[in-house]
Amino acid sequence: MFNKILIANRGEIACRVAATCKRLGIASVAVYSDADANAKHVAACDEAVHIGGSTAAESYLRVERIIEAARATGAQAVHPGYGFLSENEDFAHACEAAGIVFIGPPVEAIAAMGSKAAAKALMHAAAVPLVPGYHGDDQDPELLHREADAIGYPVLLKASAGGGGKGMRVVERTEDFAAALASCKREAASSFGNDRVLIEKYLTRPRHVEVQVFADRHGGAVYLFDRDCSVQRRHQKVLEEAPAPGLSAEVKREMGEAAVAAARAVNYVGAGTVEFIMTSTGDFYFMEMNTRLQVEHPVTEMVTGQDLVEWQLRVAADEPLPLSQEQLKIDGHAIEARIYAEHPARGFLPSTGTLKHLRMPEGVEFTIGAAGLGEPGRKAPVRIDSGVREGDAITPFYDPMIAKLIVHGATREEALARMNRALRACEVVGPHTNVEFLQRIVTSEPFATGDLDTGLIERHHDALFAPVKKPFKEALALACAALLTREGGTAHGASPWDALSHWRLNSGYTQTLGWRDVENESVFTATFARDGATQTLEHDGVSEGFTWSEGTGQHEYRATIGDARVTGRVFIDGDTFHVFCLGEALAFEWQNLLAHAADAEGGEGRLTAPMPGKVIALLVEPGTVVEKGTPLIVMEAMKMEHTIGAPAAGTVKEFLYAVGDQVADGAQLLVLDVG
């Protein structure tokens, strides 16, 4: 086994690998960019080496700097994590040339599976089922268009060197093909440095089911069962679970054996994931093989009781696989939710900012065999994998993931209930998050019943985004309790001599509190009154008895308003009161109604950037007459393209940014003469 390894990655996967290293007594080395100088993964490792600027191109993608760091620290091996250089054959070859073990498959296997088109040919030879499509070398746009027409619409355009949902477009009609192809190629070139694409028949209502495989250098190869990753937005996974629900034992076995056959076809070594697309009738087809550990590997760890990172290290150290196929078993059900800094209601645009308050449900960061948490094979019911802490910033340079929340239950129903409770306990203040959206999916009828496919979110969009009734009165009571406490008030029963305000000789006290409901952009008032021992809170014409006290925990308050009693937490950020109660999150801004009115958006003619990013295309010329919604600008943020449409009908007067310019969140992009 190795004495020291370098982790050529960042965030939660770097922390995850470091945890296994610590348990096994292996020293770990972190690498970091300017933006990550104080990152959690740096603190998690024994040593750390600075490798460059904030962007990935300046740091985590610099092969020579990582090799230099490994040599300088005496690391015997490099773990690439996922993303960045994890599936880069040049990096694997550079490690080999430097005499450093690459903790991953052989260079030849990465090359074979790195090209989706070449991989399809290999799988065809290995008798692994394939979706009809075009995987050829000729990339002439007209030829590609003809091939798509011959396959029949809808078709799926995919970056040949792609992954993670980038460089993918669904094309419904022949008229849309040329524009979709150009966009797909731009995104593929930006993300992978290769704009080659392949075309496949787009299956309606398919499931995305994948199989975890492992192989060693001694002829051993096994599958650690299946996972369902069908719930996706923008072709990126949101919820994953193991095992995949609703599949027969026969289909599971056939899929597992096909995955092992795929691995053997390229003389695979280490951890890999074979991804299949599955129809409603149970037919499955090979999509691709990811030659690395997957983001969703924790659900497999939770149901098998195996530390997959430890398996990677042992295989890379030329040991045989720890277990045979017959020895591998499934225990219960696990679900993973990816908590992202993003704005679901705005097309899942990434959100940036400082994590001013971050509280995850009670759980552990790593459970499988972790010191003090039980032997391998035992699982805690809730696990948190995260690469950030309170006070850290979500920047535009990297993936906006905050944490992975993983739960385990004896049954899928138990795991679902545990996931719902865990999500309700999450508290994040700073960037927007998808926590509430995840709650809606987990409690939705299709997900709860296992009616899964990759179009679940789009198909149930109206229900998933419908307004929901929140505990407004209870949250308002807690916000007022926090405000009155901050302003020097005392709770019912306290001595008036301890109060800094809110007490008057021979008379009662009344205070009008101005608030703005941040989510609904509405201004309202609440009136707090105290007359002797009696306290009331009035809102919307209803006055009810009101008492409060500070709770025992940090930011915790207890309030009674009318017949409702509630305990919750209030995090105060300036004049904004973030209230977490009854599993919901609400925010109220305290304001002087004489000085403030409800915030208003800019005039119809303003078009502002919905996130920080780079302008990569201007789709019309100045002087063009456009309708509301006409695509005007394409921006790139976190290597994903976002097309921005006209806010109203009018004439484009001028663009305020050129292609290649970096744009701040909220910056005005153009001048539009409305009308």
Distance from C-alpha of 324 to C-alpha of 515, rounded to nearest angstrom: 63
| Region label for 501, one of left (φ > 0), alpha (ψ between -120 and 50) or beta (otherwise) | beta
Q: Select which of 292, 314, 338, 530 is catalytic.
A: 292
Q: Is the preceding peptide bond at 154 cis, omega within 30 degrees of 0?
A: yes
Q: Is-contact 103 316, C-beta < 8 A?
A: yes
DSSP 488: T
Q: Count CA within 13 A, CB hemisphere, residue 21.
A: 26
Cβ-Cβ contacts under 8 Å for 146 (sequence gap 6 or more): none
Q: Which 3 state secondary structure label does DSSP give 435?
A: helix
Cβ-Cβ contacts under 8 Å for 628 (sequence gap 6 or more): 645, 646, 647, 648, 649
Strands 27-33 and 4-7: parallel
Residue 389 bears catalytic tag:
no
DSSP 110: H
Ranges of beta strands (E only) in 40-130 are 47-52, 77-79, 101-102
Distance from C-alpha of 298 to C-alpha of 315, rounded to nearest angstrom: 19
Distance from C-alpha of 251 to C-alpha of 284, rounded to nearest angstrom: 9
Instruction: Give the containing element (helix H, strand E) for 212.
Output: strand 207-215
Q: Which 3 state secondary structure label does DSSP give 120?
A: helix
Cβ-Cβ contacts under 8 Å for 168 (sequence gap 6 or more): 156, 157, 158, 159, 162, 184, 235
Q: What crossing angle do the helices spanning 308-316 and 297-304 adopt, rounded to 10°?
A: 100
Q: Is the preceding peptide bond at 243 cis, omega within 30 degrees of 0?
A: yes
Active site residue ranges: 292
